[in-house]
Structure 1
């Protein structure tokens, strides 16, 4: 099968959606499919051979974070050539309702088109405002996937329609077999707790953890907190400085370092306050056999099965987090048992299983639309209007 995948977010600053696209493309390739990924990326950015750079991107605020996307006539022209030359059996668009390459692809393409929805939002004035405009575009999607029930709820609530839930994937064995690192390995006297996320994104919850640390150290004075991630967090750094050597900032970590970190620590804490539709990092930590302590936002409750596969605490409540950490660091036997249950549960998210589910959606989409992907002739009019609006040029494309 010839599969074209469109990633809306830039490979210059990869995040969760980009990693999902990368891993899916590689898993499909190992199964003998021909895969091409179109994604924003500067020409000098190192990308895998299967990624076609669509040019530079611009940062826009998105769901409590910053997304780097590309949009407009130049990107549209590259997209059109990619569709024409790809001769795809099917297109797979990620976040097709965002103003990005994925939305452009939905305009351009006709035939079997699958859309995956990743985002979770409590409410969005922007989506509600554009819903009457972009809602009808959903009809061009032959099939829809949501990565979680939260992502599905966002789709249904804001845009209408429905989707089959297929979770994000993880290469479980890469984490299960990761080596430990003596710098981060905990002991009975000095257990270790890891945090991983953008330090300057409030929704990642570092302020919640920072406020909990003193209470944990009062009960478990040997505890060590390893804070990994990029970004400035001056207030949190100042607060955590009072903990002295009990807190260490690791900076950004590679994929291999992340796996080793999870394999080494006694607990991984996920204090996010919202904006998460799934929680792939929870599954990665569970795969490594690490006990997860997470806020009780709906997405994390789903991954941890209400606390059966990890420990939950009240969202945004530092006292609740401190109490949970003291419990798991003090009762090591119970913590190991809970972590073992999490490791078993993580297997359901292995890419071998998730890809089977995605391929089933592909087969359904192709059986419904008995044609290859082709250019939608109506898109010429759409793009002509876009070009005229953005450049003042003629209603023509070359």
Structure 2
């Protein structure tokens, strides 16, 4: 198939450090190329890909301090995709830009779909999905769908990562871990309190966005400063994750928002490390409770779950990752969705009887 993957320009594909959406786009694109498909990736010019790269801007916008209006460049990219549809005749277009493509691309003939990577529970989402109720969209968890049942849901396709990207390492498993981003909805303050109640060291490998700097300074920093149980490592990349996650007893994810997927959960499982997460959003779909971790309701039940970690098998956690959350499985699921769209778009030949 001739497939266009259209990624945000915010981060490179793959991102240098944090960037869940762009990382998933990278894994999907590489698998589609490996499966023999003709893929064009629309992304920033510093992206690395086996596909054909069509770069709207030379570098990721988060790293380019000269760009103050990222929406302008995304509009340019959408128009480039539309023009390429005329020139290259893609079989299918796959967008990762939320609702930005809806209006323009429902007015052209090439089949397209959009994977929605974020939360959908804000009031302003209601008129969007009511207005564009025929536009095909992919959910990354069933929980993500709940606020907008009027959307044209094609399929739920869980994220996947390359099978051997993150693998278990021999380690002593003597601390709890936090990975990802420090923000109020991620509940890092709650993770610190859980670790302190358990009397177990906590290592935090996470980035702090500018928007969350006040939260970090006012709430997290006082809990870390002078606390012998807590070590703040900062942002890490894929190369550091296997050692970091393999050394942990468990990954703590005491979130307080409707998590659409939660990539850190499957990264942890890939390393054989179980996850203890609050029952919000996708958590109960991603974690097999009692097998790859524990789904809990609050701080007290999280502390109790830490005491039950010895009941879990790290080998079984890794096997479940391999069965459910690899990039190859994700790519095959998307190919099935693409084919469904293209078959539905094919003109049907009307058979006319001789009597007519």
Q: What TM-score bracket applies, with the shorter chain setting the length? A: 0.7 to 0.9
User: CA offset at residue 307 of structure 1?
Assistant: 4.0
Candidates 237, 245, 257, aligned match of 2:240: 257
Q: Structure 1 or 2: larger helix share?
A: 1
Report the CA distance between 1:84 and its aligned residue. 3.4
Instruction: Find the partner of 1:148 among 118, 121, 141.
Output: 141
> What is the aligned partner in structure 1 of residue 303 from structure 2?
322
Report the counterpart of residue 341 of structure 1 in structure 2.
316
* 1:26-65 matched pairs, under 5 angstroms: 26-39=30-43, 41=44, 45-48=46-49, 50-55=52-57
Say yes or no: does 1:208 pair with 2:201. Answer: no
Equivalent residue number for residue 282 of structure 1: 265
Give distance in 1, aligned partners of 2:32 and 2:231: 39
TM-score, normalised on structure 1? Answer: 0.73
Distance, in Å, in 2 between the alignment partners of 1:310 and 1:118 is 24
Conservation of the 8 A alpha-carbon contact between 1:117 and 1:155: no
RMSD: 2.8
SS at match of 1:22: helix
Q: Is the 8 A contact 2:248 2:273 kept in 1?
A: yes
The one of 159, 172, 175 equivalent to 1:192 is: 175
Q: Which has the higher contact order (CA 8 A, sep 6+)?
A: 1
**Residue 342 (structure 2) pairs with residue 358 (structure 1):** no
**Could you state the TM-score of these two structures normalised by the residue count of structure 2?**
0.81
Seen in structure 2, the aligned counterparts of structure 1 residues 9 and 152 have a Cα distance that, compared at 3 Å, is farther
SS in 2 for 1:254: coil
Verify the 8 A CA contact 1:10 1:69 in the aligned structure 2: no
Asked if the contact 2:93/2:111 (under 8 Å) is kept, the reply is: yes
What is the alpha-carbon distance in structure 2 between the residues aligned to residue 153 and residue 228 of structure 1? 31
Aligned to 1:243: 227
Q: CA deviation at 1:76?
A: 4.3
Contact 1:118 1:146 in 2 (8 A): yes
User: In the alignment, which residue of structure 1 is the partner of 2:354?
Assistant: none
Residue pair 2:132, 2:151 contacting (<8 A) in 1 also: no
- Equivalent positions of 1:47-126 (< 5 A) are 47-48=48-49, 50-55=52-57, 70=72, 74-97=76-99, 99=100, 102-103=101-102, 106-107=105-106, 109-121=108-120, 123-126=121-124
Q: Which runs of 5+ in 2 are unaligned?
A: 63-68, 348-356
